[in-house]
Chains A and B, each alone.
Chain A
Amino acid sequence: MTSPQSLSRRGFLAAAATGAAAAWLAAHAHELEAMASLGAPSGQWLVLTADQAALLDAVTAQLIPSDDTPGAREAKVVRFIDRAFASVFKDDAKEFAGLLERLNATMAKTVPGATDFTALSDAQQVAVLKAFEQEHPDDFGGLRGVTILGMMSNPSYGGNDGKAGWRMIGFEDRYVWTPPFGWYDRG
């Protein structure tokens, strides 16, 4: 018999890549609660190294850039990712570290001589991520998945800071709405 524990190995990253992130999250409901209550002293990370955090800051800012609306930086997506891999995605932390190493390997091939993603030009960073998406689609999907979760989840989980993600798409979390809801039903 397969135990739930063994099934959760390589869980979220693989699930996000195949679009099954929701199922994975549901299976880890209890841990989500713990995650919501996690806090880190400012300037410190729970599981990420300083290098990993800097890399993720640059990567997530490319995936969801800041322009006339908020991006991953304003939403504190890296804080969300740090908390997530300290709690609800704990089983994936090692896998995630490996993913970041593979990203660095792709970088070295795409931009010969490069050793620091954060030091690359905007165009070079985009080129590296495009190459990574081609070379490691599942890894890229996992990275994109956690970035989106950090952007759009309830702010209690440490991302979507100041509801930046929701402002980005024009969503308001109210419990009561009355017509008109949109432009076409205004009567």
Chain B
Amino acid sequence: MRHPGQGTPAAPPSMKRYAPGATVDFVIVGSGSAGGIVARELSRAGHSVVVLEQGPWYTTGDFKHDELWIDAQYGLTNDPKQQPATYRETEQDEAKRKPWIQYGRVVGGGSVHFSANFWRFPEIEFEQATKLGVPDGTSIADWPIRYADLEPYYTKVEWEVGVSGLAGNPFEPPRRKGYPLPPLPIKSEGALMEIGAKKLGWTPWPAPMAILSRPYRGRGSCQACGFCFGMGCEYGAKSSSLVSMIPAALATGRCEIRPHSYVRRIETGANGRVTGVTYFDAAKQEHFQKAKAVVLCANGVETPKLLLMSGSGAHPSGLANSSGMVGRNIMFNGFVMTQAIFDHPINGWKGVVASRVVWDQVIMPKESGLYGGGGFDLRCMAMPVSTSMFTPGWGRDWKRMVRTGFSNGVFAAGHETQMPQLTNRVDLDPTVKDAWGLPAPRLTFKSHPNDLAMDQWFIERGKQLLEAAGGKEITTVFPGPGDNGPHLLGTCRMGNDPATSVVDANHRTHDVKNLFIVDGSSLVTGGRGQPTMTIMALAFRAGAMINQAAKRGEI
């Protein structure tokens, strides 16, 4: 059996390779949801591009159904032993080690292992300060762009990477075009969502998923194998950057992807412009890649970490950080799960994670007194080892619980707004280092009262949903708080005011003309969960904006 970790396949022989010392037009840090798209857009426009990726390069043939590997999903993500992280609640506390960060650390990034829920942000997300006000203790702000600015790029994401779904959900914002692919088949959890949601007066709807329900652009369709969550797709049906964008970037003949390349510093010249990046290769040898411009797509923690590590005389508090906003406002999205047992088999371990969603709560009902919004899906815990580990106890009763939960258990997963707060931030731990000697990211994070109240609201409504669907033995299995996870958002927020934001509406840093950032860090507010599609839409838009600026000679 061959696993990820053994015999990493080489890059395609035809891939363009730039000579050491060559200056390329763009170096892109990170090859995930944003990096893959930006690489394709810039290389297609004729630019020379080098993409530096921390992790290895796998192909679909490396992704197997080996339970140790399924459970060991960190095989595709950052290894907390090599790259520790620390956490404290407030600035007065001493930070302790805690693996709060999880990000895709392979070519394709988090889009390789994600669940592929592809929800657009609602229109109000982009103008909440104006429409709903700014609650105490939060840094809620309007985005510098509106939904209408991003809509063409949401549509572009759906058609370029391949998304399955059904247009017409009354809670979805306006769209110019339907989905390129019909919804994936309904599962038993979805059928129960239909029953429960309708009883509560809600609107169950086919889940939009970045997984192919039909063959599309040379890729095969989903075979319902059940091993999406945390794992790479062996069929290439999951629309990751790895299978959708990166092959197209390589096909231009102008894009080189370098795996095992861990950037430790963005270098700046005497004029304050960036000149390239210094990175470690697989053998921990240092290299300097010269570039006319740098695009950071490293995620909502690695991007601010890199900026804070790249301070210099001209940028004493870290690069692009004259506002002091780099690393602030970190959000993970709120997430809760409640479980019920049903009389008949669900077998959620077959098929994709979610087949039906409910978005009636996309704007919280006024009587709730809560700010923001969210949505639900019904899902199962689909892996034997993780289900068994997760089910408490042992002995005969435990056996019955594991067996029943595995086949007949369903979770109501609530996805929620989480407030941005200036005091919730990532910076550099003063003492803890990673295996390369770089500072560990330190999280300072305390939930806002609205976050905790949202968790409770979604737990209660989740219980009602499961009950209405006929569920029994209802228990809350994940009550929050959302102070960790794979959604790393808001740490280099977009804005028009250089005093309160890091990048402008076109993803150029306010401070450095030839430095751009597009990834989860760009988000001003975190959406209602499921941020990847928005990150991809921003990446297509940023790619277009950067190409236009380059054409005008304005980089």
Taking a contact as CB atoms under 8 Å apart, the answer to whether A181 and B81 are in contact is no
Instruction: Please name the 8 residue pairs, one residue from A and one from B, whose CB atoms are nearest each other, closest first.
Output: A182-B188, A183-B344, A26-B74, A29-B5, A184-B188, A25-B72, A184-B191, A26-B72
- Interface set, chain B 179-218, CB cutoff 8 A to A: 185-192
Is there a chain B Cβ closer than 8 Å to A113's Cβ?
no
Query: What are the residues of chain A within 8 A of B387 when measuring CB–CB?
Result: 169
Alpha-carbon separation in the docked complex, A42 to B342 (Å): 43
Of the candidates B69, B81, B351, B386, which one forms a contact with A7 in the assembled complex, judged by CB atoms under 8 Å apart?
A: B81
Query: What are the residues of chain A within 8 A of B187 when measuring CB–CB?
Result: 179, 181-182, 185
Taking a contact as CB atoms under 8 Å apart, the answer to whether A185 and B433 are in contact is no
Taking a contact as CB atoms under 8 Å apart, the answer to whether B399 and A177 are in contact is no
Alpha-carbon separation in the docked complex, A157 to B67 (Å): 10
Taking a contact as CB atoms under 8 Å apart, the answer to whether B344 and A156 are in contact is no
Min distance, Cβ A134 to any Cβ of chain B, angstroms: 13
Is there a chain B Cβ closer than 8 Å to A20's Cβ?
yes
Selected interface stretch from B20-28, B330-338, B388-396, B443-451: B388-396
Who on chain A is nearest to B235 by CB? A175
Selected interface stretch from B133-141, B219-227, B361-369: B219-227
What are 6 sample pairs from A and B whose C-beta atoms fall under 8 A apart? Answer: A1-B435, A27-B81, A169-B403, A174-B225, A176-B225, A184-B189
Binding site of B, secondary structure by majority: helix, strand, loop or mixed?
loop
- Interface set, chain A 157-187, CB cutoff 8 A to B: 157, 165-166, 168-171, 173-185
Taking a contact as CB atoms under 8 Å apart, the answer to whether A152 and B395 are in contact is no
Is there a chain A Cβ closer than 8 Å to B122's Cβ?
no
Query: What are the residues of chain B within 8 A of A177 when measuring CB–CB?
Result: 223-226, 350-351
Of the candidates B67, B344, B399, which one forms a contact with A182 in the assembled complex, judged by CB atoms under 8 Å apart?
A: B344
Is there a chain B Cβ closer than 8 Å to A55's Cβ?
no
Query: What are the residues of chain B within 8 A of A175 when measuring CB–CB?
Result: 65, 223, 225, 234
Alpha-carbon separation in the docked complex, A157 to B65 (Å): 13
Taking a contact as CB atoms under 8 Å apart, the answer to whether B347 and A169 are in contact is no
Query: What are the residues of chain B within 8 A of A19 when measuring CB–CB?
Result: 389
Q: Which among B350, B351, B386 has the highest number of chain A CB atoms within 10 Å?
A: B350
Taking a contact as CB atoms under 8 Å apart, the answer to whether B3 and A2 are in contact is no
Of the candidates B66, B342, B389, B396, which one forms a contact with A145 in the assembled complex, judged by CB atoms under 8 Å apart?
A: B389
Alpha-carbon separation in the docked complex, A20 to B79 (Å): 11
Of the candidates A64, A144, A153, A176, which one forms a contact with B223 in the assembled complex, judged by CB atoms under 8 Å apart?
A: A176
Min distance, Cβ B428 to any Cβ of chain A, angstroms: 15
Is there a chain A Cβ closer than 8 Å to B144's Cβ?
no
Taking a contact as CB atoms under 8 Å apart, the answer to whether A149 and B385 are in contact is yes
Is there a chain A Cβ closer than 8 Å to B283's Cβ?
no
Q: Which among A151, A157, A171, A175 has the highest number of chain B CB atoms within 10 Å?
A: A171
Contact with B along A15-53 (1 / 0, CB 8 A): 010011111111101101100100000000000000000
Query: What are the residues of chain A within 8 A of B342 when measuring CB–CB?
Result: 184
Extra 13 A-B pairs, beta carbons < 8 Å, given A151-B388, A180-B188, A182-B344: A2-B84, A8-B81, A22-B386, A23-B80, A23-B99, A26-B73, A33-B5, A33-B6, A36-B1, A65-B399, A176-B223, A181-B348, A185-B190
Contact with B along A60-94 (1 / 0, CB 8 A): 00111101010100000000000000000000000
Q: Which among B81, B223, B345 has the highest number of chain A CB atoms within 10 Å?
A: B81
Taking a contact as CB atoms under 8 Å apart, the answer to whether A182 and B75 are in contact is no
Task: Using known A-B contacts A2-B435, A154-B67, A177-B223, determine if residue A169 contacts B6 with beta carbons closer than 8 Å.
Answer: no
Contact with A along B92-121 (1 / 0, CB 8 A): 000000010000000000000000000000
Query: What are the residues of chain B within 8 A of A63 when measuring CB–CB?
Result: 394-395
Taking a contact as CB atoms under 8 Å apart, the answer to whether A2 and B433 are in contact is yes
Q: How big is the A interface, by class? A: 35 or more
Taking a contact as CB atoms under 8 Å apart, the answer to whether A169 and B190 are in contact is no
Query: What are the residues of chain B within 8 A of A145 when measuring CB–CB?
Result: 389
Contact with A along B374-401 (1 / 0, CB 8 A): 0000000000111111000011101100
Q: Which among A1, A129, A157, A179 has the highest number of chain B CB atoms within 10 Å?
A: A179
Taking a contact as CB atoms under 8 Å apart, the answer to whether B79 and A181 are in contact is no
- Interface set, chain B 136-183, CB cutoff 8 A to A: none
Taking a contact as CB atoms under 8 Å apart, the answer to whether B389 and A176 are in contact is no
Query: What are the residues of chain B within 8 A of A64 when measuring CB–CB?
Result: 394-395, 398-399
Query: What are the residues of chain B within 8 A of A22 when measuring CB–CB?
Result: 71-74, 386
Is there a chain B Cβ closer than 8 Å to A114's Cβ?
no
Query: What are the residues of chain A within 8 A of B186 when measuring CB–CB?
Result: 179, 185
Alpha-carbon separation in the docked complex, A63 to B394 (Å): 5
Query: What are the residues of chain A within 8 A of B190 when measuring CB–CB?
Result: 185
Is there a chain A Cβ closer than 8 Å to B58's Cβ?
no
Taking a contact as CB atoms under 8 Å apart, the answer to whether A170 and B81 are in contact is no
Is there a chain A Cβ closer than 8 Å to B349's Cβ?
yes
Is there a chain B Cβ closer than 8 Å to A148's Cβ?
yes
Taking a contact as CB atoms under 8 Å apart, the answer to whether B1 and A169 are in contact is no
Task: Using known A-B contacts A144-B394, A184-B188, A185-B186, determine if residue A29 contacts B72 with beta carbons closer than 8 Å.
Answer: yes
Taking a contact as CB atoms under 8 Å apart, the answer to whether B407 and A170 are in contact is yes
Is there a chain B Cβ closer than 8 Å to A126's Cβ?
yes
Alpha-carbon separation in the docked complex, A28 to B346 (Å): 34
Is there a chain A Cβ closer than 8 Å to B4's Cβ?
yes
Is there a chain B Cβ closer than 8 Å to A121's Cβ?
no
Task: Using known A-B contacts A154-B66, A169-B407, determine if residue A23 contacts B74 with beta carbons closer than 8 Å.
Answer: yes
Query: What are the residues of chain B within 8 A of A168 when measuring CB–CB?
Result: 399, 402-403
Query: What are the residues of chain B within 8 A of A30 when measuring CB–CB?
Result: 5-6
Query: What are the residues of chain A within 8 A of B72 when measuring CB–CB?
Result: 22-23, 25-26, 29
Taking a contact as CB atoms under 8 Å apart, the answer to whether B399 and A152 are in contact is no
Taking a contact as CB atoms under 8 Å apart, the answer to whether B399 and A69 are in contact is yes
Alpha-carbon separation in the docked complex, A178 to B221 (Å): 12
Query: What are the residues of chain A within 8 A of B77 when measuring CB–CB?
Result: 26
Alpha-carbon separation in the docked complex, A175 to B77 (Å): 23
Taking a contact as CB atoms under 8 Å apart, the answer to whether B188 and A169 are in contact is no
Contact with B along A122-152 (1 / 0, CB 8 A): 0000100100000000000000110011011
Min distance, Cβ A128 to any Cβ of chain B, angstroms: 13
Alpha-carbon separation in the docked complex, A180 to B192 (Å): 14
Alpha-carbon separation in the docked complex, A41 to B350 (Å): 37
Taking a contact as CB atoms under 8 Å apart, the answer to whether B71 and A21 are in contact is yes
Taking a contact as CB atoms under 8 Å apart, the answer to whether B68 and A157 are in contact is yes
Taking a contact as CB atoms under 8 Å apart, the answer to whether A182 and B347 are in contact is yes
Taking a contact as CB atoms under 8 Å apart, the answer to whether B81 and A171 are in contact is no
Taking a contact as CB atoms under 8 Å apart, the answer to whether B402 and A169 are in contact is yes
Alpha-carbon separation in the docked complex, A185 to B348 (Å): 11
